[in-house]
């Protein structure tokens, strides 16, 4: 199943699909303590779902302002942050 970038709207619950909107381009943000964007299964204007891993990555980003997952080194990042 294809994935797409979704931008966080900045006001909704970061654990709800309705808080994300389809992004036309890959986000320029990457690190920071606030959710910027997620790379999730394409569901159209909102993600299809927020997988268990994406939820873990969102929680980890809120604790560590580094794109997630942090490991292993070189892993594809699925959650980006901004300040």
45-58 pLDDT tens trace: 999 999 999 999 99
Domain count for the chain: 1
Residue 75: inside a domain: no
Whether 39 maps to a domain, the answer reads yes
Residue 49 lies in a domain: yes
For residue 23, tell me if it sits in a domain.
Answer: yes
Q: Which regions of the chain are under pLDDT 70?
A: none
Angstrom CA distances, 25 to 7, 21, 22, 39, 51, stand at 10, 12, 9, 12, 22
pLDDT at residue 43, rounded to an integer: 85
For residue 80, being part of any structural domain is answered with: no
**Residue 40 belongs to what domain range?**
3-64
């Amino acid at each position: 199943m294809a994935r797409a970038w979704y931008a966080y709207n900045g006001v909704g619950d970061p654990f709800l699909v309705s808080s994300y909107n389809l992004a036309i381009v890959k986000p320029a943000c990457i690190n920071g303590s606030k959710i910027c964007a997620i790379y999730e299964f394409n569901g159209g204007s909102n993600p299809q779902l927020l997988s268990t891993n994406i939820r873990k990555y969102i929680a980890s980003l809120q604790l560590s302002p580094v794109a997630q997952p942090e490991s292993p080194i070189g892993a594809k990042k699925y959650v980006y942050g901004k300040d």
